[in-house]
Amino acid sequence: MDLKNKEILKIKILELIEKSQKDILDMENNTQPVAPENSLGRISRMDAINNKSVIEAALRHKRNKLTKLKTALSKIENADFGVCNSCKNEIPIARLVLMPESDRCVRCADR
């Protein structure tokens, strides 16, 4: 991978890290426990608990992605950055622009 593409990806990764950190803070604020003394009806309380569970799952996913982005950022200067971990072929730049945390090409990721 050439230096120009690495620089583009580095900027993209930094933007995604910043966005992910902001999203995580927002999600953490939305996963606070639902207090039983709130004047919610039974159905509303169940809906709030369900929404909390959905947000918690999204929060776990976002934290996982943030970890992968930080790992990608730390490896971007390596010569093997952008090379599939499975087949050792180069990962297309279009895939890395969309998912810079990818360490496998589309074909290997589908397996």
CATH 1.20.120.910 applies to domain 3-32+40-110:
yes
Query: Do residues 62 and 27 touch, judged by C-beta distance below 8 A?
Result: yes
Residue 37: its pLDDT value, please?
Answer: 60
What does pTM read for this prediction? 0.81
Mean pLDDT in the chain?
89
Query: What CA–CA distance (Å, rounded) separates 47 from 41?
Result: 10
Domains of the chain by residue range: 3-32+40-110
Q: What is the pLDDT of residue 69?
A: 97
Instruction: Measure the CA–CA gap between 48 and 34, rounded to whole angstroms.
Output: 7
Tokens standing for residue 17: 């890290």
Q: Along the chain (111 residues), what's the average pLDDT of each consecutive run of 10 residues?
A: 91 97 91 65 75 91 97 94 95 94 94 86
